[in-house]
Structure formats: C-alpha cells, structure tokens
Structure 1
Amino acid sequence: MKLRYLLSILALTGFLFAAYKVVTGNKPVPVAPAVVEPASAPFKAFIAGSGIIESKSQNIAIGTPLPGIVVNVAAKVGDKVKKGMPLFYVDDREIKAQLAIKQADLAKAHAGVTIAQANIADSRSLSQLAEAVIDKRAISREELLKRRNVLAIAKANLAGALASVQQAQAAVIDIKTTLDRLVVHAPVDGEVLQVNIRPGEFAQAGEVNPPLLLLGNLDQLHVRVDIDENDAWRFNKNRSAVAYLRGNRAFKVNLHFAYIEPFVVPKKSLTGDSTERVDTRVLQALYSFNPSKELTVYVGQQMDVFIEAQDYSPEPEAVKVVPTTAAP
C-alpha cells in the first residue's frame, strides 16, 4: 500500500517538474546588450563604407630581386629609414668570388694591350728602317711589303686587346651590379611596419605572401574606403566625410579627400585571400588624415566611414519619363 502511494507521488512530482520546464523553456531569451554601441552617421543622407588604414605611400611590400640566404637584417620593426638605406643583406660570397675572377680577367686584358702596343712599336721600327733604305736594291719588295703587313696586324691586335679590356670592364660592372642588388635598400622614406625574414632564412625572389618586409610612410595616413557599387553614383568627393574608430565610437576623425581609384573591384575586406568569395563590387576612395596622440590608430586597422551624400529621394511628381524614339 505504501509503495503504491510512493509511486503516485513520484509520478506527480515528475509531471509537475516537466510542466515547469516546459513553461520556463518557452520564455523568450533576452537579447544580450551590445558590448560596444555601433557608430551612427552624423549626416542626414550618407554613404556608409568600411575603411582600412594604410600609409601615405601605401603599404610597400619589400622583396629581393635575387634569391638567396639572408645574412643580416639591418632594419627592425618601428625603425624610421631614409630612402636608400639598407634593409637586409643576401649572401654574396659566390658573387664576390666571381668578381675576383672578372677583375683578374681585366688585368689580363690590360696586359694584352701593353703587349699589343709593344708589338706595334717593334713593327713600326722595322717598317721605318725598311722605308728609310735609299737604295731599293738593298731590300726586296717582298720584305718591305711583309713589314708593312706586320705593322697592320699589330695595330689590329691592339684594337682587339682594347675591345677585350672593354669587355672585361663590362663584366666587372655587371658583377658589381649583382653585388649591389644583393643589398635591399629602402625605396622611400618611411617606417618599417613588419619584418618577416630572419638571418639564415632563404629569401625568395618575386611575390611573397607575407612580404619579406613591409614599409610605409606614416607622416600622414590614408583610409581606403569601400563604397558599394550601388552607392557609387551618390558619391561626391567634395562632401564631408568622417571616420569612427571601431571599438569606441567616441573617437572619430574628419577626413580629407585624397583621390579615387576609378575602377570598381570585388570587395575583399576580410582575409584578402584569392579564394575568398565576394558578392559585392566596390569603388575605392582614399581619404587622408594626420595621426595624433588623441587618436591611437594603426596601419591595417578598420574604421567605420560615413560620407555625406545628397538626398536624392524622388518626389512622386518629380519623376520624369524620358521619351525614346523608336527606330523606323
């Protein structure tokens, strides 16, 4: 009897618990508040776009014209460099050995010129002696002609020796040029943004991702703004523009129009990978602003950009139909 009551109580308890879970589970889940409030446009009519910060000179991906093992990296992240300063050095021992060979060839070519000049002097002396004989019966005509030909051959040998000197000099210049190309120099004044090469690593020539070294001029920053192609017709470079820092909308900066790239491209703002799917094409406009201590920003950082636009909302009576003339 007690067991039957106990089972009834347990069944009733389970039913009440299940009913409670059903009732509480049907309540709507409260929406979590945003960690950071999104930026809002300060204009009545505007174009919104995502902007990415880049240097004034654009971000220059430094490469090497010749592959090889890096022996020394002269630049560090954050260094301010001048145009022409060395950034890193590629192993040049083999090229220096070739330079020594070419310089020896040049010395040999100079010696050949000296020998050719001595042969000319000797041939000229013999020829002058033969020409100075008053009695032509004392020397045969054949011998006289032979001495003239020897002098002409000596002059030709001198011209060949001089050409060999020029060739050897060109070879030395070529090797020295190769040596100079093994030292990678800064193409512009700027700041080192990234270093992805270390001594002992192999530097590959051509396009490398990530680049061996990233350089940019940070005296002034640019914001590359992606404007949706659907809003491109509304864009006016003379309108005001403002950018908000992502993560804190209290930080903003007024932008100044720099230039526009009049070529609509696929939008790639996430990874930039060539296999990334894109479903939007954008017009890219670049705005400039001066960095300040109050606004801490970094190259590669994204910003929310709003560009003032004219309100083109058409009135019903303002819509005009353009007549078309049918072809006869």
Structure 2
Amino acid sequence: MVNKRAVLVVSLIALLGASGLYGLYATPGADKTAYATSTASTSPAGARGEPGGAHGAGITVQTAIVENRDFPVVLHTFGHVQAPQTVAVAARTASQITAIHVKDGQMVRAGDLLFSLDDRQAKADLARDQAILAKDNALLAAANTGLERARTLRDENTGTQQAYETALSVQKSTEATIAADQATIDADQVALSLLQIHAPIDGRLGTVQVAIGDLVGQSGTASTSLVTITAVDPIDVDFTLPEDRLQTFKQLLDSGARPQVVAKVSGTDTVIGQGMLDFIDSAVDTASGTIRMRATFENGAQKLWPGQYVDVDVEEETLAQVPVVPTVAVQFGQSGPYVYRLKDDDTVEVRPIAVAADDGTSSAIKAGLSSGDRIVIEGQSRLKPGERVSVASAAPATG
C-alpha cells in the first residue's frame, strides 16, 4: 500500500515538472516582453544619461532678479535704557507735610506743585519783618526831613555844621536799617517758598514716600526722599560696539552726521523707538574690547522704560546702488560664497561673489553680480553646473 502511494506522488511531481518546462519553452516571448516593460518603467528619464534628459523640463527652482538699490549697513547689539535725569525730591527745611498734590506714577512738568509743608511760622516771620520794615521806612522819612531842616539852618547860618552832620548820620543809619530789613524779608520769602515743593524737572513720579502729617527736612523722622522724578522724554539708550568701529562713528559725529539707531523689544523684531547717536565714551573698555555709545530717543509714547534691556540696530553707513540679493541665495563653498546664476538657455552656472554686507534677509554684493541677473533662491541643493532648470517664479531680489 505504501509503495503504491509513493509511486503516485513521484508520478504527480514528474507531471507538474513537465508542464512547467512546456510553459517556459512554449511561450518565451510573453515573459521577455514583461521583463522589458518593467525595466523601461524604472529607467531614469533621458536615454542619453543627460541631466533631466536632452529635452526634459529640468529641475524646478525658484529664482529672483538682482536689482540695484541703496543698502544700509546695520550693526546689531544690545542696549540698556537709561533716564537722562533722575531727581530725588527732598524737603530743604524742617516742617510737617500738610498737603500732597500728586499721586504715584504721575507725569509732571517742571514747576508743578508736589507737596505743601506747614508754613504758618514762616508766614508769621514774614509779617513781623514786613512790619519792622514799615516802621523803619517811617523813621527814614523823619530822618530825611530832619536832614533837610539841618541843611537849611546851616546854610542860613542859624544852625551848626555839627547838627547837620548828626542829622545826616541818622538818615544814613536808617537807610542801612531798611536795607537789612529788606534782606530779612527776602530770607523770609525764600524760607516760605521752600515750604511749597515743586517739580524741578519734567518726568514721571515714582512712589510717594510720605503721608500728610509726616515730619520732613533736617529734623524730620521720615525718609529723606519724598518722591523720585525720572525724566522719560527724551530718553537714552546705552550700548557697546567693538572698538574697531570707533573711528567710523567718531568721524560721523565729527562731521555733524548722527547715525540712526533703532530699539526693538528684546528678542523680537518689534520696533519701539528710533533715535540718533549722540555720544561716544572717552575710553575703550580694555577688558571687553568695546566702546560705550549712547543714542537719544523721543519717547512721547513711553515705549522705552528706564532700566529696560533692548535689541539695538545701529546704521553704520549706506551703500549706494549696489546689487542686492536675498540672503538665501548665497551658498558657501571651499572657495568662498557663490550663487547659482541662470543663463539665457535656462541652465545654471556657479558664480563666485563677494558679499559687502548682510542684514540677515538681504545681502549687498560687492562683486560677481549685476542688476538684471537671474539667481536661484530655492532648490540649490539639487543643482550642479550646467543643469537645466524649470523656473517656478522670478521676482525682484529685494529680500
């Protein structure tokens, strides 16, 4: 039984093998045709092995057209907003606060009344001294009359020279007394004025440090400073630049030019102020190799705040009518920077360039390109010299 089954299996295998051989040799054209079709479908375009084929559309890229324009050279650094003036307001005479005319954070102008102190004693002293002056003025009038009488009697030989000289002495003494009285009154008026405390500068108040009833001044027990006023408009921004920029900016200031300075919110591109460079420090910081500079900003909107840190852009110069390209077009190789330039036949060439300045978005080109040149700004990684390309877009290279 087993032998019969074995014979059956061997016979079946032999039959299947014969069928396969018949199929293979009976229809060779069908298999060969299928193989040739698969191979053709996976072959790269172009039978001659040329990039993109002899008549292919080429690699798609985006391009820009180089244009000449003025290009500002801008230096980037960090700055610190500084108030040009900060005044701690204090009482100059000992007294008690009777009125506070301002509140925390208020904007004030020079001359605005801030605090009133107890002025009763000062007013009483002034009234007393004014009364003394009035009395002495009456005495002066009498002395003038006596002097005139003594002069007349002397001239008529009915009076003596001694009497005249005595009257003259009384008149001069009374005049001196009146001058002293007036000086005393002037001092009283100064003392009285010190009891009305006014803002010495324009600015913003800090926290009011006193309350009504506080004793202030030399014998007071309250804080020496009543309030602080900080000037905020205009306002300064201090920053540093490398010392190798010193001569450039010094020459600009010496010539009367004031380079533009832009302040931005730290870490962003949000502009919060535009000012002008107006000061260069007298010495280089030898530890850091930098020079401190200062710009002044109009700050009516008060976007710049004393103590704030900001990003600073300083305009060093403006390059007149230079070729400008988007910075993304600039590539770097072993021989330096270059761009892919499109030729008239829509193939690309490597064009070495010299970059004069770069603001992060656009690059000013010193040599290698001219206005009207077409350059690749996207797709460079797939290109090589002589590659034919298909242009997706072309726009002015304004960055």
Tell me, yes or no, whether TM beats 0.5: yes
**Match for residue 260 of structure 1?**
279
Structure 2 residue 66 is the aligned partner of structure 1 residue 46:
no
CA contact (8 A) 1:47 1:309 kept: no
Structure 2 residue 204 is the aligned partner of structure 1 residue 177:
no
Q: 2:206 aligns with which of 182, 187, 194?
A: 194
SS in 1 for 2:103: coil
Distance 2:280 2:217 in 1: 32
CA contact (8 A) 1:82 1:186 kept: yes
**TM superposition shift of 1:232:** 5.4
**Match for residue 136 of structure 2?**
109
- Cα 1:290/1:121, change in 2 over 3 Å: closer
Matching residue's letter, 1:66:
R
| 1:70-110 deviation per Cα after TM superposition (whole angstroms, max 9, x unaligned) | 51332223434343222223443443333233223312322
**TM superposition shift of 1:127:** 5.1
- So what's the TM-score if we normalise by structure 2? 0.47
- So what's the TM-score if we normalise by structure 1? 0.56
**TM superposition shift of 1:168:** 0.8
SS in 1 for 2:206: strand
**Match for residue 35 of structure 2?**
none
CA contact (8 A) 1:81 1:192 kept: yes
| 1:119-162 deviation per Cα after TM superposition (whole angstroms, max 9, x unaligned) | 3466467657763xxxxxxxxxxxx5xx3321321122112112
Distance 2:154 2:200 in 1: 61
1:4-23 superposed matches below 5 A: none
SS in 2 for 1:197: coil
**TM superposition shift of 1:254:** 5.5
Distance 1:183 1:231 in 2: 52
Distance 2:166 2:131 in 1: 26
Matching residue's letter, 2:227:
L
Distance 2:226 2:289 in 1: 27
| 1:197-237 deviation per Cα after TM superposition (whole angstroms, max 9, x unaligned) | 323152469xx99773214253xx43422215646527636
Distance 1:183 1:169 in 2: 22
- Cα 1:152/1:44, change in 2 over 3 Å: closer
**Match for residue 263 of structure 2?**
243
Q: 1:98 aligns with which of 125, 136, 145?
A: 125
Q: 2:87 aligns with which of 61, 74, 80?
A: 61
Structure 2 residue 229 is the aligned partner of structure 1 residue 214:
yes
**Match for residue 7 of structure 2?**
none
Q: 1:303 aligns with which of 299, 306, 310?
A: 310
- Cα 1:214/1:82, change in 2 over 3 Å: closer
CA contact (8 A) 1:70 1:88 kept: no
Structure with the largest fraction of strand: 2
Structure 2 residue 173 is the aligned partner of structure 1 residue 160:
yes
- Cα 1:235/1:245, change in 2 over 3 Å: farther
1:25-40 superposed matches below 5 A: none
| 1:13-47 deviation per Cα after TM superposition (whole angstroms, max 9, x unaligned) | xxxxxxxxxxxxxxxxxxxxxxxxxxxxxx98734
Distance 1:92 1:47 in 2: 56
Matching residue's letter, 1:256:
G
Task: Indicate the percent of aligned positions where both proteins have the same amino acid.
Answer: 18
Matching residue's letter, 1:305:
V
- Cα 1:302/1:233, change in 2 over 3 Å: same
Q: 2:297 aligns with which of 288, 295, 300?
A: 288
- Cα 1:75/1:265, change in 2 over 3 Å: farther
CA contact (8 A) 1:291 1:297 kept: no
**Match for residue 13 of structure 1?**
none
- Cα 1:244/1:149, change in 2 over 3 Å: same
CA contact (8 A) 1:258 1:287 kept: yes
Distance 2:218 2:248 in 1: 42
**TM superposition shift of 1:61:** 0.6
